[in-house]
Amino acid sequence: MGESCLQSVVVTIRPAGADRAADREALLTAVASATGVDVAAVRAGRVCAHCGSTAHGRPWATVDGREVGVSMSRTIALTALAVAPDAVGVDVERVSRVAAASLDAFTPAELDRAVGDVGVLAACWAAKEAVLKRDGRGLRVDPRAVDVDVDRGRATLDGRVQPVVLARPGPDIVVAVAAGGLPVTWGA
């Protein structure tokens, strides 16, 4: 990616937009705020690496023609947006949604470390999604291919250990950021 004025990952959590157009506007605003430019200098969209569609796929953004790393995630009533100098993955999840889901997405080691704590499992799930988004393959990869150690703040994918920042901004909310160890700041 091109040079960026960003020195950290800026994550914003906001109420979910009504539709994709609202998500795009939120992404434009988040990039402008994180990079300190007018929103008119930001271009953003989505593109699917597999079919080329711009109706879905990975988000992208540029500031004055320079690429910045971006990632988005939605859960019930919330959207998380991450802006970074390079590739980034973010995921926001409701702990209650993970509690209601099947447990077949977790490795035996994750289940052992969680000792039945659904908050830990929700953090594992969010970290898996964040790592796979940063990787670019997303959920085309079996989530069990990512082993997350919440206590150590790391995930292993394809034999490579990656740092993951985990946060619990509310009792039913978990956020994970995968950005290669860059510091994470929380935007407004």
The pLDDT score that the predictor gives to residue 3 is 47
Alpha-carbon distance 17 to 98, whole Å?
A: 22
Q: Is the predicted pLDDT of residue 102 greater than 90, yes or no?
A: no
Sign of CA dihedral 33, 40, 83, 133: positive
- State the Cα–Cα distance between residues 34 and 19, nearest whole angstrom: 23
For residue 105, is it left (φ>0), alpha (ψ between -120 and 50) or beta? alpha
User: What DSSP line would sit under 110-139, residue for residue?
Assistant: HHHHHTT-HHHHHHHHHHHHHHHHHHT-GG
Closest CA to 64 of 30, 101, 102, 38: 38
pLDDT tens-digit readout, 142-175: 999 999 999 999 999 999 999 999 999 999 999 9
Q: What is the dihedral of CA 183, 185, 59, 99, to 10 degrees?
A: 100
pLDDT per residue over 13-60, tens digit each?
999 989 888 988 999 999 999 999 999 999 999 998 889 898 888 999
User: What is the separation of C-alpha 73 from the centre of its chain, rounded to a whole number of angstroms?
Assistant: 6
Strand order of the β-sheet with 165-170 is 89-94, 173-178, 165-170
- Long-range contacts made by residues 167-170, C-beta under 8 angstroms, separation at least 24? 168/119, 168/123, 169/13
Query: CA 137, CA 23: separation in Å to the nearest integer?
Result: 21
pTM of the shown model: 0.94
